[in-house]
Amino acid sequence: MKTYFRLLSFAKPIEKFAIPYIITTLLYVFFSTLNLALLIPLLQTLFSEGNADKCAAAAQTIVKKPSFTNLSDTFNYYVHYFIQHYSAWTTLQFVCGVLVVSVILGNLFRYISQRIMENLRVHTLLNLRKAVFDNVMDLHLGYFSNERKGDIISKVASDVQVVQYSVTATLQVIFKEPAQLIFFVIALFAISAKLTIYSLLVIPVSAFIISRIVKRLKAQAIASQQSYGNMISYLDEALSGIKIIKAFNATGFIKGRFNRENEHYSKISRSMARRQQLASPVSETLGVAMIACIVLYGGYLILNKQSGGLTAAAFIGYIAMFSQVTRPAKAISDSFSNIHSGIAAGERVLALIDEKAQVTDLPDAVTVDGFNEGLHFKDVSFAYGERQVLANINLTLQRGKTVALVGPSGGGKSTLMDLIPRFMDPKSGAVYIDDKDIKHVTAHSLRALMGTVNQDSILFNDTIYNNIAFGKPDATQAEVEAAARIANAHSFILETENGYNTNIGDRGTKLSGGQRQRICIARAVLSNPPIMLLDEATSALDTESEKLVQDALNNLMKNRTSLIIAHRLSTIQNADIIVVLENGQIVEQGSHQELINHNGLYRKLIDMQTFNAD
């Protein structure tokens, strides 16, 4: 229930929907019950044909109107009264007219209540999906390294949809169907209390059998959602890596992995469907069996004159109404399977919402507008779980200087760079911008001072113009073109089909690697940041493209504070300071020539690259 009420909170303001829904549903339930109850006077009118004298005599014996708690006698009184004062035909017309009006009103209120429920469903989905996506966007980068992207997509898309329907369906189950049952039971007691008490004795048997059928649906729903998430992950990986898959003749392996998961998901779905589908025929069979028992018992009472005034018409109306009791009861039992699925999906969605962003602005965080002195790392340590990545880092990046990070893979270079824009926070120690601890600076204002170019050219399926202006949507055409010229991209852009309005395809697949990287550099130039973070910006390029990109990077780094990560050490020899990291610690730092003369790890890395190049 705790999970359910948390999910229900996304329907706020729920009273906006709940109050009109309750009113219209109660009116619908009232008129739908009345529709069945009106069968009694309808049948009594038909059965009274040719017995006008008998009806008149019966009406005279009724001294006063019976209580409405005795529905059979009430209908009997009014039917006899109308037949005596008008005629059987007029009475029949009146009863049919009331029945038609009741049906129209019942369906009108049913339609209105369904519209309100659909509005609630859409409103809940909007709030829930927004909350999930907003929290995902706020999560630290480390979370995405440990989670499958397909599983996250499954939660945001599929699971949220399941939750949406289960929450609103539950509202119907806990209100509409029970209200329908209550109205039916009250009407049945009003017709015959004795027969109704007997009838209610057999309902728990049906409920017990149905509950046994749906007992395992929650566990199956959880397994189904996990399997679906795996399938989405495999699909995403296959589409993202299609070139590598084909190059290594791995299509058979990828097909087999996806198909095995697909078969597993199908097996679970079939098992769930069997249980869900079994509930309907079982409940229908039990319903017919119950009605048969009631017909036998009621017939016995009438034939043996023990019915307490229950007429044949009232008994037929009773049977018709009782047959409808199984419908809301069945709806409730069927909904339990959806509720189980929804709660299981809801737990996964709420887990994603509850995932805490490692980087959050402190209450006293201030906005930083400028960068005057430098960046300072003081006794900074960082770990992924139990794995220590950085240990006691002390480093200063002076304003206007270029600092390069080098060292063996896994030494902590990218992690150190990611601490500057607060993609993650250190476990201990602090990073300062000028004299301010960046934990006490708003993340938005901090990142506004920085431009980033990575090894992977992250572009979007949009025009060249919009990709360059991604961080500055209000940029003018002249500003975008100026940034492209600095990035050595203007010439090739003009050669494309539609110039700056050319769509570059998914992840920029219509462009070469060097062109994609220069678009990324132009994007960084446009925001004109005082700090540049360059992570392996040229490592994936061929020699010709690398030269063009390196020239663009040199233009980009002019008069800026730059932090560079590069495996190709030839690209960072002109850096003001080269910092050598190994096993999360700074083992050397200095200029290129100083480190060569030091004859340490840097000299060893240079010699290894020279040997490999030869």
HEC letters along 470-496 = HHCCCCCHHHHHHHHHHCCCHHHHHHC
Task: Of 382, 405, 384, give the one whose Cα is nearest residue 392.
Answer: 382
Contact assessment for residue 487 and residue 526, using Cβ atoms and an 8 Å cutoff: no
The torsion region of residue 450 among left (phi > 0), alpha (psi -120 to 50) and beta comes to: beta
**Which is nearest to 155 in space by CA: 356, 9, 336, 354?**
354
Sheet holding 374-384, edge to edge: 387-398, 374-384, 428-433, 436-437
How far, in Å, are 204, 400, 533, 589 from residue 403 at the CA level? 77, 10, 10, 10
pLDDT surpasses 80 at 440: yes
Query: What is the third-level CATH fold of 2-219+276-354?
Result: ABC transporter transmembrane region fold (1.20.1560)
What is the per-residue pLDDT for 207?
63
Strands 577-582 and 402-406: parallel
The residue that leads in pLDDT, 238 or 309, is: 238
Distances in Å between the Cα of 422 and the Cα atoms of 282, 410, 549, 579 are 59, 20, 27, 20
pLDDT band at 61 (very low <50, low <70, confident <90, very high): very low
Residue 58 has pLDDT above 60, yes or no: no
User: In what order do the strands lie in the sheet containing 531-535?
Assistant: 450-454, 531-535, 561-565, 402-406, 577-582, 585-590
**Where would I find the H helices in 396-542?**
413-419, 443-447, 464-468, 477-486, 490-495, 513-526
Question: Residue 565: is its pLDDT beyond 70?
Answer: yes
Indicate if the pLDDT at residue 59 is higher than 90. Answer: no
Q: What is the pLDDT of residue 68?
A: 54
Q: Is the pLDDT of residue 172 over 80?
A: no
CA-wise closest residue to 325 among 200, 216, 210: 200
Residue 3 has pLDDT above 90, yes or no: no
Band (43; pLDDT cuts 50, 70, 90)? confident
CB burial of residue 53 (10 Å; 0-12, 13-18, 19+): exposed
**19 CB burial (10 A radius; 0-12, 13-18, 19+):** exposed
Centroid of chain to Cα 549: 40
Q: Give me 506's structure tokens.
A: 């998914």
Q: How does pLDDT run across 254-268, given as a tens digit for each residue? A: 888 888 888 988 888
Cα→Cα distances 418→73, 366, 395, Å: 82, 20, 15
The model's confidence at residue 112, banded by pLDDT at 50, 70 and 90, is very high
Compute the distance between CA of residue 578 and CA of residue 404 in angstroms, rounded to an integer.
5
Residues 189-208 have a mean pLDDT of: 73
Query: Residue 384's beta-bridge partner residues?
Result: 387
Integer Cα distance of 530 and 528 in angstroms: 7
How far apart are alpha carbons 497 and 502 in whole angstroms?
Answer: 6
User: Which band of pLDDT confidence, cut at 50, 70 and 90, is reported for residue 381?
Assistant: very high
pLDDT exceeds 60 at position 417:
yes
Q: For the segment 115-152, what is each residue's pLDDT rounded down to a tens digit?
A: 888 888 888 888 888 888 888 877 777 677 667 777 77
312-316, 386-390, 437-441, range with the lowest pLDDT = 312-316
Instruction: Look at the pTM and tell me if it is higher than 0.85.
Output: no
Please give the pLDDT value at position 589.
92
Cβ–Cβ under 8 Å, residues 556 and 405? no
Q: Is the pLDDT of residue 614 over 60?
A: no
Q: Which pair of tokens denotes residue 570?
A: 């030839």
Residue 70: both structure tokens together: 């005795």
Rounded CA-CA distance 64/77 in Å is 9
Contact between residue 480 and residue 508 where contact means Cβ atoms under 8 Å apart: no
Provide the 3-class DSSP secondary structure of residue 421. Answer: coil
pLDDT for the residue 577:
93
* pLDDT of 330 over the 70 cut: no
Least confident interval from 62-76, 322-336, 480-494, 502-516: 62-76
301, pLDDT greater than 80: no
Nearest to 116 by CA among 159, 160, 175, 156: 175
| Cβ neighbours of 137 (radius 10 Å) | 8
* Mean pLDDT, rounded, for 320-331: 71
Residue showing tokens 């009014």: 78
Task: Report CA 268 to chain centroid distance, whole Å.
Answer: 21
Among residues of the chain, what percentage have pLDDT more than 70? 79
Q: Which pLDDT band holds residue 606 (cuts at 50, 70, 90)?
A: confident
Average pLDDT over residues 461-479: 88
Q: Is the pLDDT of residue 376 over 70?
A: yes
Q: How many CB atoms lie within 10 A of CB 174?
A: 14
C-alpha triplet 84, 86, 91: angle, nearest 5°: 95
Mean residue pLDDT of the chain comes to 78
Q: Which residue has the higher pLDDT, 457 or 93?
A: 93
CA 100, 102, 105 angle in degrees (round to 5)?
110
CB 258 within 8 Å of CB 309: no
- Report the distance separating Cα 261 and Cα 98, nearest Å: 58
pLDDT average, residue stretch 23-30: 89
391, two tokens: 């240990």
